[in-house]
Amino acid sequence: MTQLLQQNLKWEQRQRLTLLEATVFWSGSVSTAAITDSFGISRVQASKDLTLYQTLCPGNIRYDKYLKRYVIETSFKAAFMDGTASEFLQVLKARQNGTTAGALVTLINNLPTVEVVESAVRQINRTILQTVNQAILAGKEIHVVYQSMSRTEPEALSLSPHALVFDGLRWHMRAFSRTHKQFRDFVIARVLSAEFGGLTDIDPADDLVWHLFVTVKIGPHPGLSESQKAAIEYDYAMENGSVEYQVRAALVSYFLRAMRIGPDDLAREAFVQQIVLLNRDELQSYIF
Protein backbone atom coordinates (compact mmCIF):
# COMPACT_ATOMS: atom_id res chain seq x y z
CA MET A 1 0.00 0.00 0.00
CA THR A 2 2.82 2.42 0.87
CA GLN A 3 4.56 1.80 -2.46
CA LEU A 4 1.32 2.42 -4.37
CA LEU A 5 0.80 5.73 -2.56
CA GLN A 6 4.40 6.75 -3.19
CA GLN A 7 3.99 6.23 -6.93
CA ASN A 8 1.45 9.05 -7.00
CA LEU A 9 3.73 11.55 -5.27
CA LYS A 10 5.10 14.54 -7.13
CA TRP A 11 8.88 14.76 -7.35
CA GLU A 12 8.96 17.78 -5.01
CA GLN A 13 6.90 15.92 -2.41
CA ARG A 14 9.16 12.89 -2.60
CA GLN A 15 12.23 15.08 -2.10
CA ARG A 16 10.73 16.72 0.98
CA LEU A 17 9.62 13.40 2.46
CA THR A 18 13.06 11.93 1.80
CA LEU A 19 14.69 14.82 3.67
CA LEU A 20 12.15 14.49 6.47
CA GLU A 21 12.84 10.77 6.83
CA ALA A 22 16.63 11.14 6.63
CA THR A 23 16.62 13.92 9.20
CA VAL A 24 14.51 12.07 11.74
CA PHE A 25 16.47 8.83 11.22
CA TRP A 26 19.95 10.28 11.67
CA SER A 27 19.24 13.05 14.17
CA GLY A 28 16.38 11.39 16.06
CA SER A 29 13.85 14.16 15.43
CA VAL A 30 12.59 16.72 12.93
CA SER A 31 10.78 20.02 13.29
CA THR A 32 8.33 21.74 11.01
CA ALA A 33 10.76 24.66 10.81
CA ALA A 34 13.49 22.41 9.39
CA ILE A 35 11.24 21.50 6.46
CA THR A 36 10.09 25.07 5.81
CA ASP A 37 13.67 26.38 5.94
CA SER A 38 15.09 23.69 3.66
CA PHE A 39 12.47 23.98 0.92
CA GLY A 40 11.11 27.50 1.34
CA ILE A 41 7.54 26.29 1.83
CA SER A 42 4.84 27.49 4.19
CA ARG A 43 4.28 26.04 7.64
CA VAL A 44 0.89 24.77 6.43
CA GLN A 45 2.54 22.84 3.59
CA ALA A 46 5.19 21.46 5.95
CA SER A 47 2.45 20.25 8.30
CA LYS A 48 0.74 18.56 5.37
CA ASP A 49 4.00 16.81 4.50
CA LEU A 50 4.37 15.53 8.05
CA THR A 51 0.77 14.28 8.06
CA LEU A 52 1.30 12.61 4.67
CA TYR A 53 4.49 10.95 5.89
CA GLN A 54 2.68 9.56 8.95
CA THR A 55 -0.02 8.20 6.65
CA LEU A 56 2.48 6.56 4.32
CA CYS A 57 4.78 5.33 7.11
CA PRO A 58 2.75 4.65 10.25
CA GLY A 59 4.82 3.90 13.31
CA ASN A 60 7.92 5.75 12.09
CA ILE A 61 7.50 9.08 13.91
CA ARG A 62 5.36 10.63 16.63
CA TYR A 63 4.87 14.18 17.85
CA ASP A 64 6.51 14.92 21.20
CA LYS A 65 4.56 17.70 22.92
CA TYR A 66 7.41 18.36 25.35
CA LEU A 67 10.07 18.74 22.66
CA LYS A 68 7.57 20.29 20.20
CA ARG A 69 8.96 18.23 17.34
CA TYR A 70 8.50 14.85 15.71
CA VAL A 71 10.72 12.09 17.09
CA ILE A 72 11.72 8.68 15.76
CA GLU A 73 9.91 5.56 16.93
CA THR A 74 11.68 2.29 17.76
CA SER A 75 9.60 0.59 15.04
CA PHE A 76 11.05 2.93 12.35
CA LYS A 77 11.50 1.42 8.87
CA ALA A 78 13.06 3.49 6.07
CA ALA A 79 10.74 4.00 3.08
CA PHE A 80 12.31 6.86 1.11
CA MET A 81 16.03 6.25 1.66
CA ASP A 82 18.46 3.37 1.93
CA GLY A 83 19.40 4.27 5.48
CA THR A 84 22.98 3.12 4.95
CA ALA A 85 26.09 4.66 6.47
CA SER A 86 27.56 5.30 3.01
CA GLU A 87 24.44 7.26 2.01
CA PHE A 88 24.72 9.42 5.12
CA LEU A 89 28.44 10.04 4.61
CA GLN A 90 27.87 11.03 0.98
CA VAL A 91 25.37 13.64 2.16
CA LEU A 92 27.88 14.99 4.69
CA LYS A 93 30.61 15.20 2.04
CA ALA A 94 28.24 16.90 -0.40
CA ARG A 95 27.25 19.45 2.22
CA GLN A 96 30.89 20.14 3.07
CA ASN A 97 31.76 20.61 -0.61
CA GLY A 98 28.79 22.91 -1.19
CA THR A 99 27.08 20.53 -3.61
CA THR A 100 23.65 18.97 -3.48
CA ALA A 101 22.93 15.31 -2.89
CA GLY A 102 19.45 14.88 -4.28
CA ALA A 103 17.85 11.60 -5.24
CA LEU A 104 17.50 12.60 -8.90
CA VAL A 105 20.47 11.87 -11.17
CA THR A 106 20.42 13.31 -14.70
CA LEU A 107 22.10 11.14 -17.34
CA ILE A 108 24.05 13.04 -20.01
CA ASN A 109 25.03 11.12 -23.13
CA ASN A 110 27.59 13.47 -24.68
CA LEU A 111 30.35 12.97 -22.10
CA PRO A 112 33.75 11.33 -22.55
CA THR A 113 34.63 8.11 -20.77
CA VAL A 114 35.51 8.91 -17.16
CA GLU A 115 37.07 6.57 -14.63
CA VAL A 116 37.34 7.67 -11.00
CA VAL A 117 39.88 5.74 -8.95
CA GLU A 118 38.85 5.67 -5.31
CA SER A 119 40.18 3.86 -2.28
CA ALA A 120 38.41 0.77 -0.98
CA VAL A 121 35.12 1.51 0.77
CA ARG A 122 35.49 1.29 4.55
CA GLN A 123 32.61 -0.42 6.29
CA ILE A 124 30.78 1.40 9.09
CA ASN A 125 28.01 0.05 11.30
CA ARG A 126 25.09 2.36 10.57
CA THR A 127 23.56 1.92 14.04
CA ILE A 128 26.79 3.10 15.65
CA LEU A 129 27.06 6.02 13.21
CA GLN A 130 23.44 6.91 13.95
CA THR A 131 24.12 6.83 17.71
CA VAL A 132 27.23 9.01 17.36
CA ASN A 133 25.44 11.58 15.20
CA GLN A 134 22.45 11.79 17.51
CA ALA A 135 24.73 12.13 20.54
CA ILE A 136 26.52 15.07 18.89
CA LEU A 137 23.26 16.82 18.11
CA ALA A 138 21.72 16.14 21.53
CA GLY A 139 24.88 16.88 23.55
CA LYS A 140 24.95 13.40 25.05
CA GLU A 141 27.70 11.11 26.26
CA ILE A 142 28.04 7.66 24.73
CA HIS A 143 29.46 4.49 26.22
CA VAL A 144 31.41 2.51 23.65
CA VAL A 145 33.56 -0.58 23.29
CA TYR A 146 36.53 0.47 21.17
CA GLN A 147 39.25 -1.57 19.51
CA SER A 148 42.38 0.56 19.39
CA MET A 149 45.36 -0.51 17.30
CA SER A 150 47.59 0.27 20.29
CA ARG A 151 45.85 -2.37 22.43
CA THR A 152 45.36 -6.07 21.81
CA GLU A 153 41.87 -6.15 23.33
CA PRO A 154 38.85 -3.79 23.13
CA GLU A 155 38.28 -1.33 25.96
CA ALA A 156 35.22 0.41 27.35
CA LEU A 157 35.25 4.20 26.96
CA SER A 158 32.92 7.05 27.89
CA LEU A 159 33.02 9.61 25.10
CA SER A 160 31.45 13.00 24.48
CA PRO A 161 31.56 13.45 20.68
CA HIS A 162 31.14 16.87 19.11
CA ALA A 163 32.16 16.52 15.44
CA LEU A 164 32.63 14.05 12.58
CA VAL A 165 35.85 13.98 10.55
CA PHE A 166 36.60 12.37 7.17
CA ASP A 167 40.34 12.06 6.51
CA GLY A 168 40.04 10.93 2.91
CA LEU A 169 39.95 7.25 3.83
CA ARG A 170 38.12 6.81 7.13
CA TRP A 171 35.51 8.52 9.24
CA HIS A 172 36.33 9.57 12.79
CA MET A 173 34.53 11.26 15.63
CA ARG A 174 36.17 14.04 17.58
CA ALA A 175 35.32 13.42 21.22
CA PHE A 176 36.36 13.97 24.81
CA SER A 177 37.38 10.70 26.45
CA ARG A 178 36.85 10.48 30.19
CA THR A 179 39.30 7.57 30.26
CA HIS A 180 42.08 9.61 28.67
CA LYS A 181 40.87 12.92 30.14
CA GLN A 182 41.40 14.71 26.82
CA PHE A 183 39.89 15.34 23.40
CA ARG A 184 40.88 12.70 20.84
CA ASP A 185 39.95 11.26 17.46
CA PHE A 186 38.30 7.85 17.33
CA VAL A 187 37.84 5.77 14.16
CA ILE A 188 34.11 5.05 13.93
CA ALA A 189 34.65 1.66 12.26
CA ARG A 190 36.59 0.53 15.35
CA VAL A 191 33.65 1.20 17.66
CA LEU A 192 32.23 -2.25 18.34
CA SER A 193 29.18 -1.04 20.25
CA ALA A 194 27.74 2.28 21.37
CA GLU A 195 24.88 3.29 23.63
CA PHE A 196 23.63 6.60 24.94
CA GLY A 197 24.57 7.95 28.34
CA GLY A 198 23.21 11.10 29.92
CA LEU A 199 23.73 14.69 28.87
CA THR A 200 27.42 15.54 28.76
CA ASP A 201 28.99 18.27 30.86
CA ILE A 202 31.85 18.65 28.35
CA ASP A 203 31.98 21.91 26.42
CA PRO A 204 33.24 21.47 22.80
CA ALA A 205 34.70 24.97 23.08
CA ASP A 206 37.34 23.48 25.39
CA ASP A 207 38.73 21.44 22.50
CA LEU A 208 41.31 24.14 21.78
CA VAL A 209 43.22 22.42 18.97
CA TRP A 210 39.94 21.75 17.17
CA HIS A 211 38.98 25.42 17.14
CA LEU A 212 42.52 26.61 16.36
CA PHE A 213 43.35 27.05 12.68
CA VAL A 214 47.00 26.94 11.63
CA THR A 215 48.79 27.66 8.38
CA VAL A 216 50.24 24.70 6.49
CA LYS A 217 52.79 25.75 3.88
CA ILE A 218 53.49 23.41 0.98
CA GLY A 219 56.19 23.82 -1.68
CA PRO A 220 57.96 21.84 -4.43
CA HIS A 221 60.63 19.37 -3.36
CA PRO A 222 63.98 21.22 -3.41
CA GLY A 223 65.53 18.37 -5.38
CA LEU A 224 63.42 19.07 -8.47
CA SER A 225 64.78 21.01 -11.44
CA GLU A 226 63.57 24.56 -11.99
CA SER A 227 61.33 23.39 -14.81
CA GLN A 228 59.88 20.62 -12.66
CA LYS A 229 59.30 23.05 -9.80
CA ALA A 230 57.44 25.37 -12.16
CA ALA A 231 55.16 22.49 -13.19
CA ILE A 232 54.42 21.64 -9.54
CA GLU A 233 53.79 25.28 -8.69
CA TYR A 234 51.25 25.52 -11.50
CA ASP A 235 49.64 22.20 -10.52
CA TYR A 236 49.02 23.36 -6.94
CA ALA A 237 48.36 27.03 -7.77
CA MET A 238 51.45 28.10 -5.83
CA GLU A 239 52.75 31.64 -5.73
CA ASN A 240 56.42 32.43 -5.17
CA GLY A 241 57.18 28.78 -4.59
CA SER A 242 54.54 27.92 -2.01
CA VAL A 243 50.84 27.60 -1.25
CA GLU A 244 49.19 27.98 2.14
CA TYR A 245 46.23 26.10 3.60
CA GLN A 246 44.26 26.94 6.71
CA VAL A 247 43.74 23.71 8.62
CA ARG A 248 42.35 22.87 12.04
CA ALA A 249 45.31 22.12 14.30
CA ALA A 250 43.65 18.85 15.32
CA LEU A 251 43.56 17.73 11.69
CA VAL A 252 47.06 18.70 10.50
CA SER A 253 48.28 15.09 10.48
CA TYR A 254 45.27 13.94 8.47
CA PHE A 255 45.78 16.77 6.00
CA LEU A 256 49.44 15.87 5.49
CA ARG A 257 48.58 12.21 4.97
CA ALA A 258 45.96 13.18 2.41
CA MET A 259 48.64 15.23 0.64
CA ARG A 260 51.02 12.24 0.93
CA ILE A 261 53.54 14.23 2.94
CA GLY A 262 55.22 12.13 5.60
CA PRO A 263 57.99 12.87 8.13
CA ASP A 264 60.56 11.80 5.53
CA ASP A 265 59.34 14.11 2.74
CA LEU A 266 62.73 15.79 2.24
CA ALA A 267 64.60 12.48 2.34
CA ARG A 268 62.49 10.83 -0.36
CA GLU A 269 63.37 11.03 -4.04
CA ALA A 270 62.26 14.38 -5.41
CA PHE A 271 60.43 13.06 -8.49
CA VAL A 272 58.43 10.68 -6.25
CA GLN A 273 57.66 13.06 -3.36
CA GLN A 274 57.22 16.22 -5.49
CA ILE A 275 55.84 18.40 -2.64
CA VAL A 276 57.10 18.98 0.90
CA LEU A 277 56.02 20.69 4.11
CA LEU A 278 57.81 24.02 4.45
CA ASN A 279 56.97 24.95 8.05
CA ARG A 280 57.33 21.63 9.86
CA ASP A 281 58.98 23.23 12.92
CA GLU A 282 55.96 25.49 13.48
CA LEU A 283 53.51 22.60 13.23
CA GLN A 284 55.47 19.84 14.93
CA SER A 285 53.36 19.87 18.10
CA TYR A 286 50.22 19.15 16.03
CA ILE A 287 51.69 16.27 13.99
CA PHE A 288 51.36 12.72 15.27
Indicate if 245 and 276 belong to the same structural domain: yes
DSSP state of 110: S
State residue 119's pLDDT score.
Answer: 76
CA nearest 191: which of 173, 212, 209, 205? Answer: 173
State residue 249's pLDDT score.
Answer: 97
More confident of the two residues 226 and 98: 226
Of the ranges 32-36, 180-184, 207-211, 221-225, which one carries the lowest mean pLDDT score?
32-36
Q: How confident is the model at residue 63 (pLDDT cuts 50, 70, 90)?
A: very high
List beta partners, residue 145: 156, 193
What whole-number distance in Å separates Cα of residue 28 and Cα of residue 11? 25
- pTM for the predicted model, two decimal places: 0.78
Return the percentage of the chain with pLDDT > 70, whole number: 88
109 pLDDT higher than 50:
no
The reply to whether 144 falls in a domain is: yes
What is the average per-residue pLDDT within 77-87? 83
What is the domain range of residue 41? Answer: 2-81
Report the C-alpha dihedral over residues 90, 168, 172, 124, rounded to 10 degrees. Answer: 50
140 pLDDT higher than 80:
yes
Mean pLDDT (the chain) is 88
Is the CB of residue 143 less than 8 Å from the CB of residue 172? no
What is the average per-residue pLDDT within 26-35? 89
State residue 97's pLDDT score.
Answer: 59
CATH code: domain of residue 137: 2.30.30
108 pLDDT higher than 70:
no
The reply to whether 120 falls in a domain is: no
Indicate if 218 and 173 belong to the same structural domain: no
Domain final residue pick, 164, 182, 208: 208
Task: Give the total number of structural domains in the chain.
Answer: 3
What is the average per-residue pLDDT within 60-89? 88
